[in-house]
Structure 1
Amino acid sequence: MHALPQDHTGVRIARLRRERHLTQKALSELSGVPYSTLTKTEQGVLPATPHVIAACARAMRVEVSTIVGQPYMSELRADELDVLIRPIREALDVYDLGADPDVQPRQLSELKDEAEALCAAVRGGEIKKAATNVAGLIEEGTTAAHTMNSTEGWLTLASFYRTAYDVAAKLGFPDLAQLSLARMDWAAQRGSDAVLGGMYQYLRALTYLREGKYRTGQRLVTLGLSTLQQADKSRAREVVTGQLHLGGAVMAGRAHDEDQALSHLAEAERIAEKTGEAVKVHWLAFGPTNVKVHRVSVRAELDQYGEAVEETKGLIIPKDWPKSRTSHHYAEVARAQMWTGKLEDSFRSLLMARKTAPQQARYHPTVRETYAGLEAAHRRLPESFLSYGSWLGAN
């Protein structure tokens, strides 16, 4: 039995296209995707790039998640993660009801420690751990924030909401991710933290990046940079500013605007020289390493895969770097290597993505698309290739 279902991204694009009574030529013209690229993508000859997926989604007016098949429900059920989504949604819904008389919150110092532990779990690739604990902590944090009505209380609640966003985004629930961000902004405003407000705009921009709405995403990056100007000068402000530029670089890269992408990268690099490695500042992993990693990402988004592979030379990931970010990097490297014909190297990078943060890699669209791209050449790859596919598809 084959490892992955035949309902790959290209097949979904074709099915959605036919449902809308569009020919391949018509969809090519509407999306701006070259006809030969579209036909080969539908056939599975070419893997679907994020740019192609987003362009087709916009043209057919569907969500990107619909095209890539998220959420991957059979895998979520197998990992017992599906049952954790509804409690998070319910916890997000009681934000404005005030203190719950049936909830006795702990001391704020303990809740702040819990918030940090959740952020650490997500960055460590422990998505199930974070998903299991976040709903109850949101409920406890909501009551604590309403009871104390203090800056620290609201900001702690905002951190819980951020973890809900992280979980929802990584598991492929865009609507829940957006709701989590709205709650994060609500709490951050009560905590009057301009730096957190800038970070909110960064995370919000990422949701538009995933949906292929690059113009709106860039506007949010600009708004975030403007918001940060209202904050007092601090290392945290510089870190979030730099991260916004990195997000803007990937946004511009995926929109195939090379000049703007490189401009954002240059500004991020300038800021990183001042901040140094700031891995735990708002858990953004900002610093010189992240700038180098984003250079790989941007070159890949620009379809400059050879240059992306070149950017990996001499790039050393620090041992204390977040496993989630490291796994994401290996997934992007695997994609670039696949497009340059380095199939065995690409599969090794997929293995590293899995080894570093298995829960994240299993639900990462880039991992799945790259595996699908390698599928046609699996005879040239080790037997473990099909085993990897079985793990992805839970077959």
Structure 2
Amino acid sequence: MSAEITAPGPGANVKVLRLERGWLQDHLAGRARMSTSMLGKIERGERPLTQGMGAVLANAFGITLDELLGQVPVNAGDQDRLTELRAAMRRFDLPADEPVREDRLAYDLAELFRLRGDADLSAVTHQLPGLLRRVQDRAHATGLPEDWSKVAEVYSAVYWLAARHRWMTLAELAVVRQRQAAERANALTLAVAARDEAGTFLNGGDFAGGLAVVDRALVQAESGMRGRTRHLALGLLHLRGMTLAGRLRDKKTVERHIKGARKSAAVIDSDVNVHGMHFGPENTLVHVLATHVDLKKNAEALAEGERYLRDGHTLPATRIGPLHMNIARAKLALKDRDGAVDSLAEAWDIAPQMAKVHPTSLELSRVLVSLHKRSNPKVTALAKRAGIKL
């Protein structure tokens, strides 16, 4: 059964799911091949549940990672928009009577990318249904590859929104439609679709399956693309591969993807927006930092992150918010609890809507509140934002 977040923090769901099955801690720990002590710390909020550890526990429960982490409930004001969005997705192959003007679509797509970059999940939710209908109608009317590319771009945004909330049925349908549109578009759009498809494996905890999707797409991009576009495709795929390999703690594969991403980023030179996503030296560094935390190279990750923030950055909130979350993870692992609170507060300030639903921010909030036994105004403020009762 999928857990729904009522008390924030994925680690809290572990105990709920265990008790639903009538299992003792030692039984679950044995199935997950971890110590009972470690499991107890996760359940009590003394140690954060990582995505890699979450995948192991999800497998022990016989569920997917997204089910363990828990779906974010739909806001009452968003339910009608999501119903409209699903209706538009069902009509993927049904053309309308009249095409939509190109100038309006260009403006609306630019606005969608801006809202996504700002991590404004609510505004993205409200814009998607109407925009999806319009881009599909135009693509059917013209049949042009560039118009089908726009359809794929909007479906990528649907996937992004659904994955942030762990609405995985919607996310998986979105990537199917995204690929169908991409097949009528171009090679770069296909590479982005493969990246998002691998993302559904990441969300579900099947990291090896996601790597297989990435490797297949890399082979296609290597052999079928040329020039700058080829490096954009390769770079985006290597970033996804890096994250997947990091969750598996496969150091050799991590290094292969880091090397590939850095090679392409050097060609691109400065970060650019690709179908609503960013690739270049900065986003490569942000991904490397997150992967170093997954591999427990926390001091190295912290040094990279602080240097990057000190030197200035151009990435949007949707990337800088998670960067601060990963810096908080590194600080907590290095036993700098106060520093972790400060970094997590930065993530909430920069991307509050994302922090409210992101499993990393929720889990860090739960653990930091649990570990700070003494009164601390910063922790009190963090608890209030995360919905944790003190």
1:195-219 CA-to-partner distances (Å, cap 9, x unmatched) read 1111111111122112211110110
* Conservation of the 8 A alpha-carbon contact between 1:279 and 1:321: no
User: Partner of 2:32 in structure 1?
Assistant: 31
2:385 aligned to which of 378, 385, 391: 391
Cα distance change, pair 30–394 in 1 and its aligned pair in 2 (3 A): closer
Correspondence 1:131-146 to 2 at 5 A: 131-146=125-140
User: Partner of 1:153 in structure 2?
Assistant: 147
How far apart, CA to CA, are the structure 2 residues paired with 1:273 and 1:392? 39
1:256 aligned to which of 243, 249, 253: 249
User: Partner of 1:202 in structure 2?
Assistant: 195
How far apart, CA to CA, are the structure 1 residues paired with 2:161 and 2:375? 33
1:217-239 CA-to-partner distances (Å, cap 9, x unmatched) read 11011011022135431322202
1:121 and 2:122 matched: no
2:157 is paired with a residue whose SS is helix
User: Partner of 1:358 in structure 2?
Assistant: 352
How far apart, CA to CA, are the structure 1 residues paired with 2:147 and 2:276? 19
Q: Structure 1 residue 8: deviation in Å?
A: 4.5
* Conservation of the 8 A alpha-carbon contact between 1:112 and 1:156: no
Q: Structure 1 residue 148: deviation in Å?
A: 1.4
* Conservation of the 8 A alpha-carbon contact between 2:198 and 2:213: yes
Give unpaired runs (5+ residues) of structure 2. none
How far apart, CA to CA, are the structure 1 residues paired with 2:223 and 2:263? 21
1:25-56 CA-to-partner distances (Å, cap 9, x unmatched) read 33223323333211221232222111111111
Q: Structure 1 residue 382: deviation in Å?
A: 3.4
1:53 and 2:54 matched: yes
* Conservation of the 8 A alpha-carbon contact between 1:330 and 1:353: yes
How far apart, CA to CA, are the structure 2 residues paired with 1:368 and 1:295? 22
Supply the RMSD in Å over aligned alpha carbons. Answer: 2.2
User: Partner of 1:66 in structure 2?
Assistant: 67
Q: TM-score, normalised by structure 2?
A: 0.91
* Conservation of the 8 A alpha-carbon contact between 2:64 and 2:205: no
How far apart, CA to CA, are the structure 2 residues paired with 1:394 and 1:26? 29
Cα distance change, pair 283–156 in 1 and its aligned pair in 2 (3 A): closer
1:85 aligned to which of 82, 85, 90: 82
1:323 aligned to which of 294, 314, 317: 317
1:280 is paired with a residue whose SS is strand
User: Partner of 2:296 in structure 1?
Assistant: 303
1:190 is paired with a residue whose SS is coil
Q: Structure 1 residue 105: deviation in Å?
A: 4.1
* Conservation of the 8 A alpha-carbon contact between 2:25 and 2:36: yes
1:81 is paired with a residue whose SS is helix
1:277 is paired with a residue whose SS is coil
2:178 aligned to which of 184, 188, 193: 184
1:44 and 2:41 matched: no
Give unpaired runs (5+ residues) of structure 1. none
Cα distance change, pair 320–378 in 1 and its aligned pair in 2 (3 A): same
- Aligned residue pair count: 384
How far apart, CA to CA, are the structure 1 residues paired with 2:297 and 2:30? 23
How far apart, CA to CA, are the structure 2 residues paired with 1:145 and 1:11? 45
Letter of the 2:189 counterpart? L
Cα distance change, pair 223–369 in 1 and its aligned pair in 2 (3 A): same
* Conservation of the 8 A alpha-carbon contact between 1:165 and 1:181: yes
Q: Structure 1 residue 346: deviation in Å?
A: 0.9
Cα distance change, pair 115–8 in 1 and its aligned pair in 2 (3 A): closer
Q: TM-score, normalised by structure 1?
A: 0.90
1:96 and 2:93 matched: yes
1:230-257 CA-to-partner distances (Å, cap 9, x unmatched) read 5431322202211211211111111111
User: Partner of 2:205 in structure 1?
Assistant: 212
Q: Structure 1 residue 389: deviation in Å?
A: 2.1
How far apart, CA to CA, are the structure 1 residues paired with 2:312 and 2:227? 24
1:285 is paired with a residue whose SS is strand
Cα distance change, pair 378–25 in 1 and its aligned pair in 2 (3 A): closer
How far apart, CA to CA, are the structure 2 residues paired with 1:345 and 1:146? 53
How far apart, CA to CA, are the structure 1 residues paired with 2:220 and 2:340? 40
Cα distance change, pair 273–58 in 1 and its aligned pair in 2 (3 A): same
1:244 is paired with a residue whose SS is helix
Q: Structure 1 residue 94: deviation in Å?
A: 0.9
2:119 is paired with a residue whose SS is coil
Letter of the 1:246 counterpart? L
Letter of the 1:50 counterpart? Q
How far apart, CA to CA, are the structure 1 residues paired with 2:83 and 2:223? 37
User: Partner of 1:348 in structure 2?
Assistant: 342
Cα distance change, pair 11–216 in 1 and its aligned pair in 2 (3 A): same
* Conservation of the 8 A alpha-carbon contact between 2:42 and 2:48: yes
How far apart, CA to CA, are the structure 2 residues paired with 1:392 and 1:27? 28
Identity of aligned residues (%): 26
